[in-house]
């Protein structure tokens, strides 16, 4: 099935890269292929190095590249290992880098791995399509991590104000039965937060699910490594476009960009993050929290 993911800040991301038809572009979070497909349409002849931790991403998106004139090579790795993908290609430098640091709608809705609290699925939350027995899953997190650890993760990564109550409820529930599905976790969260909170605009499980997913995939650690490695392979005057959806992620990107500017290694293309307009938000509510920052290597 082709991805149904709606690409956020599509034109702004690509226009900010300053590409041409001879450019080599690293799409570190290929997902539904929206950014890469648009790059191919606008700059025929471009080369795309597509990276995604989800092996099924290319199969779902490849039809978008059937009638465009560009070379695309797909690598099934996390973008923190982008250097390995480039070594395979025998490429040392790239002209542009795209990082869209968010879970695609397709992964959320169709992965079957428990990212969404709206479907009853096995509690995995790993970006890997076929996790190995040794890979960390959300089931491991909720059934084996200490109450203090759980509370710290749910508060630190999810900014959830009822984190301590939720962590305590998880630990009480797992004494009776192992927590194995998304709906089991949703019920535990529901029972541990105030009734008024359950009726809020934001679903009461959103922050907890987000926090556990970030922990399972070490998303913040991956972002820090991906930024460093990405910057090191950028050509002089090459640019990096990074879209984040979470305040912690945006903080990491902002800090990294500011340090590069301070050290005279790069310049900020936009002093303030670019955000979606009203029309895009109406068409895709997920775009509301998106922030785009662009950096040029000096």
Q: What is the pLDDT of residues 250-269, one digit of tens each?
A: 999 999 999 999 999 999 99
Question: Do the beta carbons of residue 51 and residue 29 sit within 8 Å?
Answer: yes
Q: Look at residue 157 and tell me whether its pLDDT is greater than 50.
A: yes
Would you give the end-to-end CA distance of the chain in angstroms? 42
State the pLDDT confidence band at 284, using cuts at 50, 70 and 90. Answer: confident
Give the model confidence (pLDDT) of 195-246 as tens digits. 999 999 999 999 999 999 999 999 999 999 999 999 999 999 999 999 998 8
Closest residue by Cα to residue 7 from 292, 223, 296: 292
Q: Which domains, and CATH codes, for the chain?
A: 10-107+219-297 (3.40.50.150), 128-216 (1.10.150.170)
Give the model confidence (pLDDT) of 14-70 as tens digits. 999 999 999 999 999 998 899 999 999 999 999 999 999 888 888 888 888 888 889
Task: Please state, in angstroms and rounded to a whole number, the distance separating the CA atoms of residues 226 and 231.
Answer: 8
Question: In Å, how far are 152, 187, 192, 247 from 168, measured between CA atoms?
Answer: 12, 14, 9, 26
Q: Look at residue 1 in the predicted model and tell me its pLDDT.
A: 35
Task: Please state, in angstroms and rounded to a whole number, the distance separating the CA atoms of residues 11 and 39.
Answer: 9
Residue with more model confidence, 250 or 4:
250
The two three-digit tokens of residue 223, written as one number: 């972002």
Give the largest CA-CA distance in the chain.
61
Task: Please state, in angstroms and rounded to a whole number, the distance separating the CA atoms of residues 229 and 111.
Answer: 28
Q: Look at residue 2 in the predicted model and tell me its pLDDT.
A: 39
Mean pLDDT value across residues 92-110: 81
Query: If you ran DSSP here, which 8-state letter would residue 286 be given?
Result: G
Question: Do the beta carbons of residue 249 and residue 226 sit within 8 Å?
Answer: no
Q: Look at residue 4 in the predicted model and tell me its pLDDT.
A: 46
Query: Which pTM value belongs to this model?
Result: 0.88
Q: Look at residue 104 in the predicted model and tell me its pLDDT.
A: 64
Mean pLDDT value across residues 120-136: 87
Question: Do the beta carbons of residue 213 and residue 103 sit within 8 Å?
Answer: yes
State the pLDDT confidence band at 107, using cuts at 50, 70 and 90. Answer: low
């Amino acid at each position: 099935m082709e991805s149904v993911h709606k690409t956020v800040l599509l034109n702004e991301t690509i226009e900010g890269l300053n590409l041409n038809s001879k450019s080599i572009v690293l799409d570190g979070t290929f997902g539904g292929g929206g950014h890469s497909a648009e790059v191919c349409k606008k700059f025929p002849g471009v080369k795309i190095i597509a990276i995604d931790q989800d092996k099924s991403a290319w199969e779902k998106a490849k039809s978008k590249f059937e009638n465009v004139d560009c070379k695309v090579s797909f690598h099934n790795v996390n973008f923190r290992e982008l250097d390995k993908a480039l070594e395979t290609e025998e490429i040392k430098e790239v002209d542009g880098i795209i990082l869209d640091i968010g879970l695609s709608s397709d992964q959320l809705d169709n992965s079957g791995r428990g990212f969404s609290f709206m479907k009853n699925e096995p509690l995995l939350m790993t970006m890997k399509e076929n996790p190995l027995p040794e890979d960390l899953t959300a089931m491991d997190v909720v059934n084996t991590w200490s109450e203090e650890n759980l509370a710290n993760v749910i508060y630190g990564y999810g900014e959830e104000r009822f984190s301590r109550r939720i962590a305590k409820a998880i630990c009480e529930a797992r004494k009776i039965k192992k927590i194995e599905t998304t709906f089991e976790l949703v019920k535990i969260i529901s029972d541990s937060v105030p009734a008024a909170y359950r009726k809020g605009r934001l679903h009461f499980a959103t922050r907890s699910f987000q926090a556990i997913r970030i922990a399972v995939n070490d998303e913040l650690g991956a972002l820090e490594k991906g930024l460093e490695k990405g910057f090191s392979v950028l050509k002089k005057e090459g640019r990096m476009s990074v879209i984040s959806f979470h305040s912690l992620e945006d903080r990491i990107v902002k800090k990294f960009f500011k340090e590069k500017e301070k050290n005279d290694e790069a310049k900020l293309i936009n002093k303030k993050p670019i955000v979606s307009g009203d029309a895009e938000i109406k068409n895709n509510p997920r775009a509301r929290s998106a922030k785009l920052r662009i950096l040029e290597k000096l």
